[in-house]
Amino acid sequence: MRTYTTSRHGQPNVSQLHYARQGVITEEMKRVAEREQLAPELVRSEVARGRMVIPANVNHVNLDPMAIGIAAKCKINANIGNSAVTSDEDTELEKLTVATKYGADTVMDLSTGGGLDAIRSTLIKHSAVPLGTVPIYQAVQQVDKVTDLTIEGFLEVIEHQAKQGVDYMTLHAGVLLRFMPYISKRKMGIVSRGGALMAEWMMHHHQENMLYTHWDRVCAILKKYDVTVSLGDGLRPGCLADASDEAQFAELGILGELTLKCWEHGVQVMVEGPGHVPMDQIEMNMKKEQEVCHEAPFYVLGPLTTDVAPGYDHITSAIGAAIAGWHGASMLCYVTPAEHLGLPNLEDVRQGVIAYKIAAHAADIARHRKGARDWDDAMSDARWKFDWNKQFALAMDPERAKEKHDATLSHDAFKTAEFCSMCGPKFCSYKNSQDVTAAWAKYVAETGAAGGALPESILAAKDSDVHAVIAAAAANHAPGELAAQAARERQVERKAMLAQKG
């Protein structure tokens, strides 16, 4: 229970960014430092710099604070929520349970059907992870048609949800009227629900985006509750053909501008990104956001690396998400097997979460984040020891791993067997390899041979070539390089910041 937030009520700015800039290490920062195995001062400095956010509404009392940013481990978000066509409050609560059970770091309630307030307050009450929303959905539900939307109505919804305890909100403030010509050139127009709604309103009234023009008022509300802004990418590409186009990057430029405005207000902010991107454009997209949006944490949706596999978009997008995380995305929004086809059910949520935990963890490993590979090494050790129960316990989805193993060899005796049904006992490579290692040890003991000291006849040819290959490979492969670079960058930033503070 975050009882410590009560003293903050009524203050004009209670954001983590605000405290961090004052040099205060909050309870939330301490908890983040503990979970990430980082120094509390590093957490504070990253939050102050805007490169890390801790979405933690002061009214979300049962939150276990977590952080999103390049210095922290890569995070994943699970979208849940109903539509007018299907689902209800109980189902959404079940989805929350499944999503967090399998490791979702945050959850977004994207409900657009009925009972929005009830679903949202139930989810906040039961969630220890940050809850995000897209307030335009409720704002539009409260009027007859989207064109009836007013800024007063919109701000009312934002404040209402902020009071409820929503930790972060997607706001599509970068979809500007002057970008509409770019949309007409696209194969798939606007595929962001919020972006399309904003554009409808703008085109109808021939007025600029109301969130953009009233951004100061938005920030003034959010900082009272410490709601983190998630700058929505209303113009994200909806297919490979539209990736990295004018519309996308034009909006990104505005998101960079709004990022600075949030920081002026002392409001925490992250930036949302695509969507659908071919593999060879992902790294460029990550670097572009870092550059244009001043290193605000990047929160990407996938991206999908091909459009042709509906029913398997958790996989088409986990590929892109892993690459995105590797190149610097701080949070990956999951995509489920139901994407493009319907609302996800509980099993879809589970599949989506696991696919994204895989992507995020693969990214942590590729970035050489401290200790990331320890989990993998523990699994490898359990495999080598034929400790099946430990393998299940260490698995991302223990039930599924056990179920698959037991499908062919269910008896308890096989939990210590030195084989599985894939190879059977005679062909198990682990077992056979262990015999080889034992034979080698015996040979060394008997002959006194050490290292590569084998009979002359065997050692003869080509060894110099082999070592040349290894040396060349080692030269190309610089583990830890990225991590070292990130550390250097942090160092430079911190010095600059300290200098500024004088």
Nearer to a second copy, 224 or 415 (CB): 415
φ, ψ at 228 (rounded to 5°): -80, 135
Shortest gap between Cβ of 401 and a second copy (angstroms)?
4
What one-character DSSP code corresponds to residue 60?
-
How far CA 458 is from CA of 332, 453, 455, in Å, comes to 52, 10, 6
Residues in 1-40 that interact with a second copy by CB under 8 A: none
φ, ψ at 169 (rounded to 5°): -130, 135
Using the Cα atoms of residue 64, residue 69, residue 75 and residue 79 in order, give the sign of their dihedral: positive
Nearer to a second copy, 45 or 305 (CB): 305
Omega prior to 275 cis, within 30 of 0: yes
Selected binder of a second copy within 93, 346, 365, 393 (CB under 8 A): 365
Residue 148 tokens read as 């009836």
Scanning 11-19, 28-36, 93-101, 247-255 for contacts with a second copy by CB under 8 A, the matching segment is: 247-255
Residues in 176-235 that interact with a second copy by CB under 8 A: 176-178, 180-181, 183-184, 187-193, 195-197, 199-200, 203-204, 206, 208
Selected binder of a second copy within 362, 369, 386, 415 (CB under 8 A): 362
Residue 496 tokens read as 């600059």
Residues in 370-409 that interact with a second copy by CB under 8 A: 373, 375-377, 379-381, 383-384, 391-392, 394-397, 400-401, 403-405, 407-409
DSSP symbols for 434-475? HHHHHHHHHHHHHH---TT---HHHH-SSHHHHHHHHHHHHH
Nearer to a second copy, 85 or 413 (CB): 85
The three-point CA angle 339-270-93 to 5° equals 45
How far CA 308 is from CA of 53, 266, 304, 315, 324, in Å, comes to 35, 43, 10, 11, 20
Nearer to a second copy, 61 or 188 (CB): 188
Contact 204, 148 (CB under 8 A): no
The reply on whether position 366 binds a second copy by CB under 8 A is: yes
Nearer to a second copy, 221 or 355 (CB): 355
Nearer to a second copy, 170 or 391 (CB): 391
**String of b and e for 354-375 (b: at least 16 CB within 10 Å)?**
bbbbbbbbbbbbbbbbeebeee
Side-chain half-sphere exposure of 105, counting CA atoms within 13 A: 26
Residue 281 tokens read as 């454009």
Rounded-to-10 torsion of CA 155, 157, 158, 160: 120
Residues in 259-318 that interact with a second copy by CB under 8 A: 278-281, 284, 287-288, 291-292, 305-312, 314-316, 318
φ, ψ at 70 (rounded to 5°): -65, -25
Give the residue from 312, 320, 314, 305 showing the smallest Cα distance to 334. Answer: 314
Nearer to a second copy, 84 or 496 (CB): 84
Nearer to a second copy, 228 or 351 (CB): 351
Rounded-to-10 torsion of CA 392, 397, 400, 406: 0
Selected binder of a second copy within 63, 72, 98, 338 (CB under 8 A): 338
Scanning 93-101, 123-131, 153-161, 362-370 for contacts with a second copy by CB under 8 A, the matching segment is: 362-370
φ, ψ at 160 (rounded to 5°): -60, -50
Shortest gap between Cβ of 371 and a second copy (angstroms)?
13
Scanning 6-14, 39-47, 52-60, 433-441 for contacts with a second copy by CB under 8 A, the matching segment is: 433-441
Shortest gap between Cβ of 454 and a second copy (angstroms)?
5
Residue 191 tokens read as 């595929």
Give the residue from 285, 226, 279 showing the smallest Cα distance to 251. Answer: 285
Shortest gap between Cβ of 161 and a second copy (angstroms)?
17
Q: Are strands 52-53 and 75-80 parallel, antiparallel or unpaired?
A: unpaired
Residues in 122-181 that interact with a second copy by CB under 8 A: 137, 140, 146, 176-178, 180-181
Nearer to a second copy, 137 or 168 (CB): 137
The reply on whether position 252 binds a second copy by CB under 8 A is: yes
Selected binder of a second copy within 72, 354, 386, 415 (CB under 8 A): 354
The reply on whether position 51 binds a second copy by CB under 8 A is: no
Selected binder of a second copy within 93, 151, 220, 239 (CB under 8 A): 239
Residues in 453-482 that interact with a second copy by CB under 8 A: 454-455, 458-459, 462-463, 465-466, 468-470, 472-473, 476-477, 479, 482
- Give the integer Cα–Cα distance in Å for 338 and 87: 14
Selected binder of a second copy within 224, 367, 369, 415 (CB under 8 A): 367
Residues in 61-120 that interact with a second copy by CB under 8 A: 83-86, 112-113
Shortest gap between Cβ of 16 and a second copy (angstroms)?
29
Shortest gap between Cβ of 267 and a second copy (angstroms)?
20
Selected binder of a second copy within 117, 425, 488, 495 (CB under 8 A): 425
Shortest gap between Cβ of 299 and a second copy (angstroms)?
19
How far CA 14 is from CA of 3, 147, 473, in Å, comes to 15, 34, 51
- Give the integer Cα–Cα distance in Å for 286 and 297: 10
**How many residues bind to a second copy according to rule CB under 8 A?**
154
φ, ψ at 30 (rounded to 5°): -60, -45
